[in-house]
Structure 1
Amino acid sequence: MATTTETKNYKFNHSMIRVKDPKESVKFYEFLGMKVIKKLSFPEAKFDLYFLAYDSPKAVSGGNNVWDREGLIELTHNYGTENDPSYKINNGNAEPFRGFGHTCISVDNIQAACKRIEEAGYRFQKKLTDGRMRHIAFALDPDGYWVEIVGQKPLEETKGVTDTDLETYRMNHTMIRVKDAEKSLKFYREVLGMELFRTSVNERAGFNLYFLGYPGSKGVPAEGQGTADREGLLELTWNYGTEKDEAFSYHDGNKEPQGFGHICVSVDNLEAACARFETLNVNWKKRLTDGRMKNVAFVLDPDGYWVEIVQNERFTEKANF
């Protein structure tokens, strides 16, 4: 294996959220077409991890090793929460604990997909017919996390079509709010090697959205080209003026009340990547040499969100766990 690291080989592997009852959560994400492709159990530490992904023959990284993918959702279950009536997840959208915003799936037919979810009895934060934005919806998972639903085709192309094909769905992006867009963009581009795919400027509403990702074989989208066919993008939401308020901060999801845990990037050479991060003077939550788990590291982004760094097994042909 090479002793160097190249960010072109990095992948935005997964986003981790804590869940109260894994049976209910797995059932929900499987209903959205995802599949548990790996489960890791740590009974001595009293928690399990469930990694879900789109895995059909039509999926972007279907069939790949768990660490050689993008757009996974990791569910963390701490034993006993399912039986604790007082246990409640922080979904990241309630004051004063805002930070993480949502995950997002893109679908072939948004009208049919939303109808199917509603008929199954799942709740919505925002239906297609709510508000001014009639081209997006937000479903709620069993813990109240927001799952945005966007269409891969314009609304007029799917109007009146009643079918939806789960095998064409993508886990498109994860959204986190950031205090200072300039600092966050610099971190994700220069430290983690992501590219800016597109920007949505909303001056009247006072916020911008930045969509970043790893180009991979598709490359960076051309100007005006959509990103709904992609998986594993990161959306940064910046509300104007937060960068000027010294006292302002977002909730990282790991302080109480907990919910969202981290995002994760898989790399071609874990030790070399971490050595590179050292030269860039990153803030660490956990170095490779810290604690008992010597095969994962965590760096902190400018807002204090945790970014896990793991080895892509394709480059080592050895199991991480």
Structure 2
Amino acid sequence: MATTDTKNYKLNHSMPRIRIKDPKESVKFYEFLGMSLLKKLEFPDAKFDLYFLGYDGPKARSHGNTVFDREGLIELTHNYGTENDPEYTVNNGNKEPHRGFGHTCISVDNIQAACKRIEDAGYKFQKKLTDGRMKHIAFALDPDGYWVEIIGQKPVDQTADVKETDPQNHTMIRVKDIEKSLKFYQDICGMSLVRTIENKDAGFNLYFLGYTGGRTLDSESEIPHLEGLLELTWNYGTEKDENFKYHNGNDQPQGFGHICITVDNVEEACKRFEDLQCNWKKRLTDGRMKNVAFLLDPDGYWVEVVQNERFAGKENF
């Protein structure tokens, strides 16, 4: 009898579907950060293409795996013609009144060397290492203005750089009610809470979740080396405001699309979600694509559910 086990789930693309203007420029940027273009899916009838990028060096955690048997990928969505439209822009999720998605994050061996390399290449920063009080993180801007956080794995006295083994560490989204969000991602999606950072003076907390295979982390020093974490940012008091809501990225103006989890048996997983009375954007039986489904989290963010190709023995597309 077919079953499903959340210990087999993965956070496949965690800055997943972000809409981009020019795929040449966006792919070039993420390859400059050390990622590889792992797969391109073309949908000419629907007039869009998908680009899946991730770290794929010989020492990368997911090296050699198929696209939907990986964690920490970035999926870029290009709608045909946007590159030739001077008026086309995306919502990066960080500007009022359309805040929601915050950033993706990569961890690097030497943050100073990595940031210098990015700056020398002419890419812009939302925050340099020298800006503000937090001197240990930086935020680069991709060609569409999405924020990419840069964090360090090791002491800065080592000579290192962004490379093919650096993980795509996490994606941040803002949530209104942290209790509801934690319940959804832990109880429904099967993630584990691996770290909590309280910022009481600033009025917000950060919660990092991921799939650890049921394993408890030995220490927080493991976290920068993990792939595909989800960071929830909760600003105190938002849960008490009936009218407060975050922008899910799929309503206008669009930008961020969804995160994605891969499961061991997509039919059984969706049956489980149905039994748990989850909210759906798209069931497996809806529309033309019968191999993907989309849940809605408590804030209305889309969570794609697809088959892990390793368990199916064949590729999804």
TM-score (norm: length of structure 1): 0.96
TM-aligned CA deviation for residue 68 of structure 1: 0.5
**1:265 has 2:232 as partner:** no
Q: Which moved more, 1:187-196 or 1:223-232?
A: 223-232
What's the counterpart of residue 55 of structure 2? 54
What's the counterpart of residue 202 of structure 2? 205
Which of 167, 171, 174 is residue 174 of structure 1 equivalent to? 171
Q: Look up the SS of the partner of 1:89 in the other structure.
A: coil
Distance verdict in 2 for CA 1:165–1:304, change over 3 Å: closer
In structure 2, what is the Cα distance between the partners aligned to 1:169 and 1:281? 38
RMSD: 1.1
In structure 2, what is the Cα distance between the partners aligned to 1:320 and 1:197? 30
TM-aligned CA deviation for residue 226 of structure 1: 4.1
Greater than 6 Å deviation, 4+ residue runs: none
In structure 1, what is the Cα distance between the partners aligned to 2:84 and 2:248? 26
TM-aligned CA deviation for residue 62 of structure 1: 1.2
Q: Which runs of 5+ in 2 are unaligned?
A: none
TM-aligned CA deviation for residue 220 of structure 1: 2.7
Q: Look up the SS of the partner of 1:135 in the other structure.
A: coil
- Superposed, 1:71-150 pairs within 5 Å as 71-150=72-151
What's the counterpart of residue 315 of structure 1? 311
Count residues with an aligned counterpart: 315
Deviations 1:165-185 (A, max 9, x none): 513311000000000000000
Distance verdict in 2 for CA 1:224–1:54, change over 3 Å: closer
TM-score (norm: length of structure 2): 0.97
In structure 1, what is the Cα distance between the partners aligned to 2:272 and 2:37? 33
Identity %: 74
CA contact (8 A) 1:299 1:306 kept: yes
Which of 220, 236, 254 is residue 250 of structure 2 equivalent to? 254
Q: Look up the SS of the partner of 1:97 in the other structure.
A: coil
Q: Look up the SS of the partner of 2:230 in the other structure.
A: strand
In structure 1, what is the Cα distance between the partners aligned to 2:270 and 2:11? 16
Which of 214, 217, 222 is residue 218 of structure 2 equivalent to? 222
CA contact (8 A) 1:137 1:148 kept: yes
TM-aligned CA deviation for residue 216 of structure 1: 3.0
Distance verdict in 2 for CA 1:25–1:176, change over 3 Å: same
CA contact (8 A) 1:108 1:168 kept: no
Q: Look up the SS of the partner of 2:99 in the other structure.
A: coil
CA contact (8 A) 2:18 2:255 kept: yes
**1:293 has 2:292 as partner:** no
